[in-house]
Amino acid sequence: MIMNPTKLTLAALAAAFSFAVAASAEDAKLPPASAKPGVTYATDIKALFDASCVKCHSGDKPKARLKLDTLEGALKGSKDGKILTPGDGANSLLVKAVTHQTKDSDGWMPPLKNKAGIKPLTPEQIGLVLAWINQGAK
Q: Per-residue pLDDT tens for 58-91? A: 999 999 999 999 999 999 999 999 999 999 999 9
pLDDT at 115: 86
Residues paired with residue 6 on neighbouring β-strands, in sequence order: none
CB 54 within 8 A of CB 60: no
109/99 Cα distance (integer angstroms) = 8
Residue 11 pLDDT greater than 70, yes or no: no
Higher pLDDT, 112 or 66: 66
Domain ranges in the chain are 31-134
136/116 Cα distance (integer angstroms) = 31
CB 108 within 8 A of CB 102: yes
